[in-house]
Amino acid sequence: MRRQLISLLPALALGALGLIPGVHAQEAAFPNKPIRLIVPVPPGGAADGMARLVADHLQAKWGQPVLVDNKPGAASAVGLGLLAKAPPDGYTIGMGNIAANAINPALQPANFPFHPVKDFAPISLIGVTPLILVVNAEKVPARTVPEFVAYLKANPGKIAYGSSGTGSSLHIGMELFLQKTGTTMLHVPYKGSAPMMTDLLGGQVVASMDAATTSWPQVQAGKLRALGVAGPERAFFAPELPLLRDMVNGFDLKPWHGLMAPAGTPPAIVNKISEEVQSFLRTPAAMAKLQAMGVIRVGNSAAEFQSFMAAEFELYKKIIQDAGIKAE
């Protein structure tokens, strides 16, 4: 029996080597059939817009249909759960985000349906949607971040801020601001941004770390006052608005959206998609379309996105633990 096994070894080795050209040929021919792009949110909005922008480009570039498949639910966990279980061949990709790949897994570590980093092969970080620290212009006298910090320290626990819900990026962003400035505020969670904005304008809450797309028009109307922007760079729509990270040591918050594949997808295919997406995002046309959605373009490499995702998960896990935030 031992001699038979030994005699088979050369044939087995040749067989294994024979698989390699086939694998390489499959990767080189990618894509040769339609690609499914899972979007874990409903149609409309920045995340869906980013996905469709990328899908249209890849379809035109490669001559294969790139089908956007909206699978909303459970704060993006439904769609990304499907992506995590898809065949790792590059023909199913999806849009990840700060909620499903960083915040919510840190809030629910015991029963989350997938690992936010290990179950995915990052392709490229498409962009970030900046948040703005805003206050009610009539209720809060502060006009700068240092003045606002001083105002909070003079009124500890007496000032209320609103968010779109417990564990939302708006909630986490303000908690990080409070941790880094050594201040306290009362948190009032709402079921969505719209009711929060109504009460912020009415003065029931007087501050928020809100999405620029909804808060900036109110700033322009004079109803809210913007103190700073949370993001990797100054906002293109308000370059005079200072970065919070430059005024608050250790503050780093940037709601993000990125393209990813299931873990195990061949690196050659991941990099092929990534390089094409990066090249496209560097064009003026792509940048203009993203800015129209209120998005700051990124477009990094697969390796850079991998490091970014891992760091983001650890960051929000620490924020949530330090603030004692519990899932609703």
Tens-place pLDDT, residues 198-209: 999 999 999 999
pLDDT of residue 6: 47
**Calpha distance 139→236 (Å, rounded):** 28
Average confidence (pLDDT) over 95-117: 91
Can you point out the beta strands (E) in the chain? 35-39, 66-70, 92-97, 120-128, 131-136, 160-163, 186-189, 207-211, 224-230, 256-262, 296-297
Q: Is the pLDDT of residue 17 over 80?
A: no
pLDDT band at 94 (very low <50, low <70, confident <90, very high): very high
CB contact at 8 A, 208 and 174: yes
178 burial type by CB count under 10 A (0-12 exposed, 13-18 middle, 19+ buried): middle
Give the residue, 213 or 18, on which the prediction is more confident.
Answer: 213
* Residues 216-238: tens digit of each pLDDT: 999 999 999 999 999 888 888 89
Which tokens go with 94?
């999806």
pLDDT band at 24 (very low <50, low <70, confident <90, very high): low
**Calpha distance 323→3 (Å, rounded):** 65
Can you point out the beta strands (E) in 8-116? 35-39, 66-70, 92-97
- Judge whether 34-128+255-323 and 131-247 match in fold: yes
**Calpha distance 137→120 (Å, rounded):** 43
Nearest to 241 by CA among 231, 249, 251: 231
Q: Is the pLDDT of residue 5 over 60?
A: no
Crossing angle of the two packed helices 45-62 and 284-292, in degrees rounded to 10: 160
CB contact at 8 A, 241 and 226: yes
Report the relative pairing of strands 120-128 and 296-297 from DSSP bridges. Answer: antiparallel
Which tokens go with 18?
């024979």
Residues in the chain, overall count: 328
pLDDT band at 23 (very low <50, low <70, confident <90, very high): low
pLDDT of residue 18: 55
Superfamily of domain 131-247: Periplasmic binding protein-like II (3.40.190.10)
Contacts 24+ apart (CB under 8 A), 312-318: 312/98, 312/101, 312/102, 312/256, 313/101, 313/102, 313/105, 313/106, 313/116, 313/117, 315/102, 315/252, 316/98, 316/102, 316/103, 316/106, 316/172, 317/106, 317/109
pLDDT band at 15 (very low <50, low <70, confident <90, very high): low
CATH class of 34-128+255-323: alpha beta
Boundaries of every domain in the chain:
34-128+255-323, 131-247
Phi-psi region of 6 (alpha: psi -120 to 50; beta: other; left: phi over 0): alpha
Crossing angle of the two packed helices 169-181 and 145-154, in degrees rounded to 10: 80
